[in-house]
Every structure is written in C-alpha cells, then in structure tokens.
C-alpha cells in the first residue's frame, strides 16, 4: 500500500506543480487537443533543434488531475529525445509512467498529453517536408 500511496503523491505533485508548463514563445509547433466529454485540454509546444532533437517541450492546459499530471510526467521524459525516438515511442510509456491501474480507469485522460505530443511531431514533420519541397 505504501508504494501506491507514494505513487499517488507523485501524481498529485505533478498536478500541483507541473513540469515544463507554459508557452514557448518561439515554438516550432503548437498542437492542441482535448477530450470534449470531460473538458480536458492540452496544448503542446515543441522546439526541435537542427539535429532533430526535441530540445524544448512544454504544455499548458486545464482539466482533471490525470490529464494534467499525465502530460507533465510523460512530456518530461520526452525532452532531449530525437523526433524519431518520440515518433517510435509506444503508448505503453504512459502506462509504464502512470501505472496500469490508473490508466485503465480513464485512458483518454491519461493518453491526452502523449497523443498531443505525437500529433505535434507529425505536424513538425509535415512542416519539414513542405520546407524541403519548397527549397528543392
């Protein structure tokens, strides 16, 4: 029981003190997603360096503890990873980070930050492809 209690303290801490929270003014990509049924909204800000590394990732949003803490915990793990690593990251990272029991209770809330980041990466890749086409 102690382990579960400590785990919930981490979730609560990330909800009350989210990591990487706030807009990045010079973001390469801003991607917003939400769960209309429960009012959760996450906006992901992504900066990618010339090597293809996500050197800055932040988010803003509102909603339940699970969607906000989940975004904080999962996105914190993605800073410094390459776009390719993020693209190939399986959704299991959310369950590994938040716990199977918690994710199974409200999967859409738990996955919101991860899915929004994945969409931001897709948008960044589209921008890169369009840029390459224009410059060729």
Question: Taking phi first (over 0 means left), then psi (-120 to 50 degrees means alpha), and beta for anything else, what does residue 66 get?
Answer: alpha
3-state secondary structure of 136: coil
Structure tokens of 80?
Answer: 């410094």
- pLDDT tens series, the chain, 136 aa: 457 787 788 899 999 999 999 999 999 999 999 987 889 999 999 999 999 999 999 999 999 999 999 999 999 999 999 999 999 999 999 999 888 888 999 999 999 999 999 999 999 999 999 998 988 7
Q: In which residue are the tokens 């390469």 written?
A: 28
Structure tokens of 20?
Answer: 């990487």
3-state secondary structure of 130: helix
Residue ranges and CATH numbers for the domains of the chain are 2-134 (3.90.1010.10)
Helix (H) or strand (E) holding 15: helix 2-16
Q: What is the pTM of this model?
A: 0.93
């Amino acid at each position: 029981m102690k382990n579960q209690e400590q785990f919930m303290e981490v979730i609560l801490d990330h909800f009350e003190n989210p990591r990487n929270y706030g807009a990045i003014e010079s973001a390469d990509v801003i991607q917003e997603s939400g769960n209309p049924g429960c009012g959760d909204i996450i906006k992901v800000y992504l900066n990618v360096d010339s090597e293809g590394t996500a050197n800055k990732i932040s988010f803003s949003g509102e909603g339940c503890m699970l969607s906000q803490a989940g975004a904080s915990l999962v996105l914190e793990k993605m800073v410094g990873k390459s776009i390719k690593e993020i693209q190939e990251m399986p959704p299991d990272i959310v369950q590994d980070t938040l716990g199977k029991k918690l994710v199974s209770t409200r999967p859409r809330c738990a996955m919101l930050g991860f899915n929004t980041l994945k969409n931001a990466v897709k948008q960044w890749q589209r921008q890169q492809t369009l840029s390459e086409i224009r410059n060729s």
